[in-house]
Amino acid sequence: MNSEHAAESESCQSANSHPRECHFGVRVIKDSLVFSAAHFITFNGNVCERLHGHNWRVEAAIEGPLDENSYVFDFIALRDNLQAIVQQLDHSVILPEYHPAIRVQVSADGREVETTFEARRWVFPVEDCRILPVVNTTAELIGQWIGRCLIDRLCLPGNSGLKVLRVSVEENFGQWADCRFEL
């Protein structure tokens, strides 16, 4: 071993003998973590966008300590559970359950969802709608809903000292909203 390589090796060993605090995480970004859905949002009190759609992308990351297998969380479990949540939104109209000015009501026969905002009215087949427990269908609140579903599915609050879950939702190319949960 020449002296140059020996110095590099010693430097590496020296760094290992004095470890610094290290934070670990895993993240999943997959082509399959995409859903196509329509929505509209309101802002400034009485402005309501037109109904429109996006090809949304979702990613998720979990931070925490390494477990006995030297990993933070199983990539496959994270991917598969996130995929199951994303599939619930695919090819749907996303509507807010708790908006103060938008009324979302399922018809008596359970076949239609009528949605109104001021003088505007939309009627959709019930099977095409996903009514989320949010006040507005922004990317931020859709991300929060996805994150809460993921926490429930993965039992994250009590899971191996995991610290953080971050869910990111891309509404349009390069336009992401993040929601971070302290676990």
pLDDT tens figures, 88-141: 999 999 999 999 999 999 999 999 999 999 999 999 999 999 999 999 999 999
User: Is residue 4 in a domain?
Assistant: no
Q: Within 13 Å of residue 152, how many CA atoms lie on the same side as its CB? A: 8
Number of domains in the chain: 1
| Domain housing 119 | 20-182
User: Is residue 14 in a domain?
Assistant: no
User: Is residue 38 in a domain?
Assistant: yes
User: Is residue 78 in a domain?
Assistant: yes
Encode pLDDT of 36-48 as tens digits. Answer: 999 999 999 889 9
User: Is residue 134 in a domain?
Assistant: yes
Residue 105's Cα: distance from chain center in Å?
26
User: Is residue 9 in a domain?
Assistant: no
User: pLDDT averaged over the chain?
Assistant: 91
The answer to which of 2-11, 103-112, 140-149 has the lowest mean pLDDT is: 2-11
The answer to which of 26-40, 41-55, 102-116, 153-167 has the lowest mean pLDDT is: 153-167
Which of 150, 153, 175 is CA-nearest to residue 166? 150
pTM: 0.88
Q: What is the mean pLDDT of residues 80-88?
A: 98
User: Is residue 132 in a domain?
Assistant: yes
Residue 5 Cα distances to 8, 13, 16, 18, 29, angstroms: 5, 12, 17, 20, 37
Q: What is the mean pLDDT of residues 51-58?
A: 98
Kindly report the CATH number assigned to the domain that includes residue 29. 3.30.479.10
User: Is residue 13 in a domain?
Assistant: no
Cβ-in-10-Å burial (0-12, 13-18, 19+) of 116 comes to: middle
> Which helix (H) or strand (E) is 164 found in, with range?
strand 164-172
